[in-house]
Amino acid sequence: MTRTSSLVRLLRSGSVRIALSYALVFIVSTLLLVGYLWYQTTNYLERETDAVIVADTRAIGDRLRDFGLPGALDAINDRLKRAADEHAIYLLTDPLMTPVGGNLSAWPAQVGRDPGWYEIKIVQAGKLRATRVLNVDLPADFHLLVGRDIQDRAVIRDVILNGLAWAALAALVLAVGGGIMVRRAVFKRVETINRTAAAIVQGDLARRVPTTHSADEFDQLGGTINGMLDQIQLLIEGTRGASDAVAHDLRTPLAEMRGRLEALLRNRPPADATFEEVGKTIGDIDRLIAVFNALLRLADIRSGVRRSGFRDVELDRILAEVAEFYEPMAEEKSMLLELGALQPTVVKGDPDLLAQAIGNLLDNAIKYSPVGSKVSLALTRLPEHMLRLEVRDLGPGIPQEEREVVTRQFYRGSQSDVPGTGLGLSLVLAVAHLHGGRLELSDNTPGLVAAMILPLPSGATLAKPQ
């Protein structure tokens, strides 16, 4: 039972099945090749043999017509004396099928009375040999039988068939052996992937597929799997961090709302004070709803579903519209919102998401910049078919050590004293990644330069301004 199950597992192995398939193809192709060669060789030898037999029958028939029976017998005896083939067959009989000449004592029973070709077995020198003969009717109702031994051809055929059988067996054995060797090598590499996957299923998210640095197909597969695992781990850790941040950041406002409502129930203040507290509570609830909406939007962006709705977007027009929308907010702080010269620019993307990302950058710049300062918005062309959309402000900026973490959800910078959810730059980064770009943060000395680097569509160019 154990041997049977082992054999079944062996036959189910892909490498063994592939090896057996190649062995079958090799055997069939070899049989076809050798069979074709054997067929052509046999036909050639048969034609040569038949030509010699036909020539002998014509010559003996001519001697019989010209010189009578003695002439035909002389021709037969002469051929028997000088025949290169010691197994040549000659038999001349009278109308009663009685032998009158040749090297056979009687007319073979396997040869009928009708003229034509026959392949028969004749005992010669105590051995049964295959012979091809031609039965010809001669004048005066004589019958002539001329043949040649073809036993050598039968022996050659048997040798070839035996050789093919052994070659097929050897190919099969080599295929199975090679398949087992390949299976062991492949199984060893696949088993490492299985162990890695099993460890990850058990919760070891840091586990990775080991590679041999040989750049073979398994290393390429391992690299792809490791990249996928890195992304999965990043998403899981991001989700876990977001969950912790949501629990931490929402617990305080919820506790404050509960305390405020509890105080209203306990103290029963006048209607105006009650309505004022209710208004503040509604404001807190609106902020919580905004947080959840932002989280849902981030999840929607990171899922990649929005990519299916990408279309041509006039980015210069979106920049102008967003700048116009935020201009009143800048005026409230006596700030100058400067929009650089825009060239008609078309990109592939989601206009709503691009507008929200640009709006988040402008919102942060205006919020964190001092009163009476300036915020500038510009769009420039970069080498390698890329665009740079940047927002510059004169605020406190972001320290170098915080730029790697400031895009995390709910992260609030150490110098931040402005109310917010900590999701603005997270959304900008997600939108940039969705559009095949990136977010870069650098110093404006003083202030911050926040830039989205986006790719241009293939063949697109920045048109000259009209």
* Per-residue model confidence as pLDDT tens digits over 267-312: 888 888 888 888 888 887 877 777 677 666 666 666 666 666 788 8
pTM of the model as a whole: 0.49
Is pLDDT at 376 greater than 60 in this prediction? yes
Give the pLDDT band of residue 390 (cuts 50, 70, 90).
very high
Fold of the CATH domain 2-159: Beta-Lactamase (3.30.450)
pLDDT at 239: 66
Percent of the chain with pLDDT over 90: 9
- CATH 3.30.450.20 segments of the chain: 2-159
pLDDT tens column, 154-203: 777 778 778 778 877 877 777 777 767 776 777 777 788 888 888 888 87
| pLDDT score of 94 more than 70 | yes
Question: What is the separation of C-alpha 441 from the centre of its chain, rounded to a whole number of angstroms?
Answer: 38
| The pLDDT of residue 353 is above 70 | yes
Average pLDDT value for residue range 107-127: 84
Task: Name the percent of the chain lying above pLDDT 70.
Answer: 82
> In this model, does residue 415 exceed pLDDT 60?
no
Task: Give the mean model confidence (pLDDT) for residues 115-135.
Answer: 84
Q: Sheet holding 89-93: strands in order across?
A: 99-102, 89-93, 142-149, 127-138, 116-124
Domain 217-302 has CATH 1.10.287: yes
- What length does the chain have? 466
pLDDT category at 104 given cuts 50, 70, 90 is confident
Higher pLDDT, 237 or 276: 276
The C-alpha R_g of the chain, in whole angstroms, comes to 49
187-196, 284-293, 372-381, 456-465: segment of lowest average pLDDT: 456-465
* Region(s) of the chain under CATH 1.10.287: 217-302
Half-sphere exposure of 289 (CA within 13 A, CB side): 6
Ramachandran quadrant class, 335 (left: phi over 0; alpha: psi -120 to 50; beta: rest): beta
Class of domain 305-455: alpha beta
Query: Quick one: which of 229, 204, 234 has its CA closest to 409?
Result: 234
Cα end-to-end distance, the chain, whole Å: 85
- Under the banding of pLDDT at 50, 70 and 90, the label for residue 391 is very high
CATH 3.30.565.10 boundaries in the chain: 305-455
